[in-house]
Amino acid sequence: MTNKLNNIGVLTSGGDSPGMNAAIRAVVRTGTYHNLGVYGIMRGYAGMIENDIKKMDNRDVANIIQRGGTILKTARSKEFLEYTGREKAYNNLKKLGIDGLVIIGGDGSFNGAQQFSNDFDIPCIGLPGTIDKDIAGSDTTIGFDTAVNTAVQAIDKIRDTMDAHDRLFIVEVMGRDAGYIALHSGIATGAENILIPETETDMEDMICSLTEKERRKKLVNLVVVAEGGVLGGAYKVAEIIKDRIPTADIRVCVLGHIQRGGAPTCQDRLIASHMGYYAVESLLIGRKNVMVGVVNNKIYYTPLDKAVKEKQRIGQEWMKIVKILAS
Ligand code: F6P
């Protein structure tokens, strides 16, 4: 141990994601292995401000690796955006002797962590916990794999009824401003079109290809839409298509929060355990304000502000592949 770390805090913040519990478990058990006091902070930054903080031991995280949601609960705190809120939070941590934090969350949570450590010089380690995969510095995020698999299972079911009725289905998936869930679930379910915010959608081209398919009686068509698309979601897309192809029998399905729940996949449990372990090891050797990610199956560290600002990029080649495979 190179610095005087005695106690650490762990919290989950922002939208929950499957695998957060596995990450909490890894942080608690790695911390106790190193004889650190580990504190669970309830409801993210809100609990830090309200002193809703409890000491945890290994038994508190038994039987949770397979559970979705987060035993620490989560929230988005407006008060933490203000200096006075962060000061209250810091005073609560100091009273308990907490001198390092592990924050499991997405971009909003990392912005908060960065600001907090700028104000009070407390080392913060971020773990990317979000179904959106909208963070740079990691090939994947805790919860993404589960969310995509949930979307795939749901779309497979939709395909059965879509096929039975010769219908055109527009399915909207989550992702906020990112199109990864749409891209991955769309490719895995053989979608004819995938609309994502990262690439411009040529609506005219899409209408032409759907009209041509209608002409040759290929009436079963699946369009997967990312919620953050510029056209404004699945209902808007359905309106545009109906306007141009009035004969199309269209149905819309918005998958919504079902994508955030459920037991984490093996991959999400693995990366959460791996990242949680390295979060504590990082604090012990004096790392601060970095996110623990996984790149090419190896642990990779990215400054928190860079992880938030840079995002990941979706290669144009994917859209070409979608088009070729859907013909
Ligand atoms: O960031 C995760 C996410 O599920 C996004 O995909 C979605 O836009 C948002 O959270 C929904 O947030 P809420 O649960 O507050 O409605």
Kindly state whether residue 288 falls inside one of the protein's structural domains.
yes
Q: Output the pLDDT for position 3.
A: 58
Domain total of the chain: 2
| End-of-domain residue from the set 260, 283, 299 | 260
Kindly report the CA angle at 40 between 72 and 104, in degrees rounded to 5? 65
Partners of residue 298 on adjacent β-strands: 295
Are residues 222 and 156 located together in one domain of the fold? yes
Ligand 1 centroid distance, CA of 11 (Å): 18
Kindly state whether residue 1 falls inside one of the protein's structural domains.
no
* Residue of 16, 132, 145, 268 marked active site: 132
Are residues 271 and 135 located together in one domain of the fold? yes
Kindly state whether residue 327 falls inside one of the protein's structural domains.
no
Are residues 41 and 156 located together in one domain of the fold? no
Ligand 1 centroid distance, CA of 258 (Å): 11
Asked if residue 292 lies in contact with residue 125, where contact means CB atoms within 8 angstroms, the answer is yes
Alpha helix ranges (H) inside the chain: 20-33, 44-49, 83-96, 107-120, 144-165, 180-188, 203-215, 234-244, 266-284, 304-310, 317-325
Which residues constitute the domain of residue 79? 7-143+264-310
**Positions of the chain with pLDDT under 70:** 1-3
Structure-derived torsion over alpha carbons of residues 222, 226, 227, 231, reported in degrees to the nearest 10? -80
Are residues 289 and 151 located together in one domain of the fold? no
Nearest residue (by CA) to ligand 1, atom 8, is 176
Are residues 253 and 191 located together in one domain of the fold? yes
Kindly state whether residue 138 falls inside one of the protein's structural domains.
yes
Ligand 1 atom closest to 174 (CA): 6
Are residues 113 and 171 located together in one domain of the fold? no
Are residues 111 and 168 located together in one domain of the fold? no
Ligand 1 centroid distance, CA of 195 (Å): 18
Assign residue 74 the CATH number of its domain.
3.40.50.450
Nearest residue (by CA) to ligand 1, atom 10, is 15
Give CA separation, 301 vs 100, 115, 135, 210, 304, in Å.
17, 19, 12, 45, 9
Query: How many angstroms separate the CA atoms of 119 and 21, rounded?
Result: 29
Ligand 1 centroid distance, CA of 176 (Å): 6
Ligand 1 atom closest to 14 (CA): 1
How buried is 32 (Cβ within 10 angstroms: 0-12 exposed, 13-18 middle, 19+ buried)? middle
Are residues 120 and 38 located together in one domain of the fold? yes
Query: Which amino acid does the sequence have at 33?
Result: Y
Assign residue 224 the CATH number of its domain.
3.40.50.460
Kindly state whether residue 325 falls inside one of the protein's structural domains.
no
Clarify whether 132 is annotated catalytic. yes
Are residues 129 and 19 located together in one domain of the fold? yes
Are residues 59 and 187 located together in one domain of the fold? no
Query: Which residues lie with the beta carbon below 6 Å from any ligand 1 atom?
Result: 15, 106, 130-132, 174-176, 227, 260
Ligand 1 pocket mutation pick from 74, 132, 142, 227 by most atoms within 8 angstroms of CB: 132
Are residues 240 and 284 located together in one domain of the fold? no
Are residues 74 and 210 located together in one domain of the fold? no
Helix (H) or strand (E) run with residue 298 in it: strand 298-303
